[in-house]
Amino acid sequence: MDYTEYNRQAWDHQVKVGNRWTVPVTKEIIAAARDGDWDVLLTPQKPVPKSWFPKLRGLKVLGLASGGGQQAPIFAAAGAHVTVIDNSPRQLEQDQIVASREGLSITSILGDMRDLSQFSQESFDLVFNPCSVSFISEVRPVFEQSYRVLRTGGRLMCGFTNPVRFIFDEEKLEREEFSVRHTLPYKDTTHLNSEELEKIRMDQEPFMFSHSLEDLIAGQLKAGFTIMDMFEDMADDDPLAKFLPIYFATLAEKPVPNHTPPTKPS
């Protein structure tokens, strides 16, 4: 089964309960971004290096599954032309709350990050995808679609959860008991028992999925990207953080095609 509709409703609920990824940025953050002082996150703590970005003013940016009133308004305040596609109407509303409050222009589109068919080829200079592929069951279409809508030389920035995070028994992990339980790739929908699945539904939490490093890294390469850089990140509220980075992010570029010089006539 595809759980897109369920996760849509779950993320709408996350807005209601104030999940940290749904809380709009403040007026002060927007004012600073207008003055050229800004940071954005792909992962929970470490800001994306400024060296990853071209100049934002005039840049066409696609926020991929990045609704929530955080990255998109910052990009817009810094002068970019911003479009956001997200599966959650309430997450998109958070962007528009900031846009209305601050006089920003953000185009919000309800949709699946795996399907960018409504955008023409080479529509964007930057695709920005904060940690969200853990909420879809297959990730390679994200890279393939991103490659198609990026112009040559355009950049893809993605945040990911380290797959090893999913091997542990979650209930025991909360008690700092490190019990390996799950094989990878992991899916809530196939790896949990009926009682655990019912608790997720009752709590209106989104279903989660892991992806292999092969899919996360080689998936970008096979889509045509060149990976330019990466960084790892921690999460203070995760029991595993004292042992290893839980998150990582990659910078990829749609390369200029190899130019083959014309053959001289014999």
Within a domain: 243: yes
pLDDT at 245 over 60: yes
Instruction: Let me know: does 73 contact 30? Beta carbons within 8 Å.
Output: yes
Angle, helices 4-17/89-102, rounded to nearest 10 degrees: 50
Give pLDDT, residue 82.
98
Q: What single letter denotes the amino acid at residue 167? A: I
Asked if residue 239 belongs to a domain, the reply is yes
Q: Nearest Cα to 193, choosing from 212, 165, 170, 161?
A: 170
- How high is the pLDDT of residue 175? 94
Q: What are phi and psi of 122, to 5 degrees?
A: 55, 50
22-43 pLDDT per residue, tens: 999 999 999 999 999 999 999 9
- Specify the pLDDT at position 153: 97
Q: Mean pLDDT score of the chain, rounded to an integer?
A: 95
Which letter, b or e, does each residue of 231-262 get, where b requires 16 or more Cβ atoms within 10 Å of its Cβ? Answer: bebbbeeebbbeeebbbbbbbbbbeeeeeeee
The gap from C-alpha 100 to its chain's centroid, in whole angstroms, comes to 24
Is 259 part of any domain?
no
CATH no. for residue 239?
3.40.50.150
Structural domain contains residue 170:
no
Q: Is residue 263 a part of any domain in this protein? A: no
Residue 186 lies in a domain: no
In a domain, 168, yes or no: no
Q: What is the pTM of this model?
A: 0.94
Angle, nearest 10°, between helix axes 89-102 and 27-34? 60
Render pLDDT for 146-193 as a digit per residue (tens, 0 to 9). Answer: 999 999 999 999 999 999 999 999 999 999 999 999 999 999 999 999
Residue 257 confidence (pLDDT): 80
Q: How many domains does the chain have?
A: 1
CA-CA distance, 246 to 232, in Å (whole number)?
8
Range of the domain at 75: 4-161+211-253
In a domain, 216, yes or no: yes
Q: Does the pLDDT of residue 60 top 80, yes or no?
A: yes
pLDDT, one tens digit per residue, over 83-141 is: 999 999 999 999 999 999 999 999 999 999 999 999 999 999 999 999 999 999 999 99
